[in-house]
Amino acid sequence: MSLLLNALVRLAEEAPHQDSEGITTHSWLLPETSEIVFGGTASVIVIGLLVWKGLPVAKKAMAARTAKIQKELDDSANAKTAADAEAAQIRQAKGDIEGERARLLADADAQAGQVLTEGRTRLEAEVAELEARADIEIGQIASRSGDELRVEISRLSSEASEALVVKHLDAATQDNLIESFIAKVGAA
Predicted confidence (pLDDT) per residue in 122-173, tens digit: 988 898 898 889 888 888 888 888 888 788 888 887 777 777 777 777 777 7
| 53 occurs within a structural domain | no
| 151 occurs within a structural domain | no
What are the DSSP calls for 111-153, one per residue? HHHHHHHHHHHHHHHHHHHHHHHHHHHHHHHHHHHHHHHHHHH
| 126 occurs within a structural domain | no
| 4 occurs within a structural domain | yes
Residue 27, number of CB atoms within 10 A of its CB: 15
Longest Cα separation, the chain:
197
Contact indicator for 154, 147 with CB cutoff of 8 Å: no
Instruction: Give dist(CA 154, CA 160) in Å, integer.
Output: 10
Q: Domain residues for 18? A: 1-30
* pLDDT tens string 98-118: 777 888 889 989 998 899 999
| 11 occurs within a structural domain | yes
In terms of residues, how long is the chain? 188
| 19 occurs within a structural domain | yes
| 167 occurs within a structural domain | no
pLDDT at 13: 61
Give the residue from 55, 35, 33 showing the smallest Cα distance to 43: 35
Give the residue from 137, 139, 116, 119 showing the smallest Cα distance to 127: 119
Looking at the structure of the chain, the number of domains it has is 1
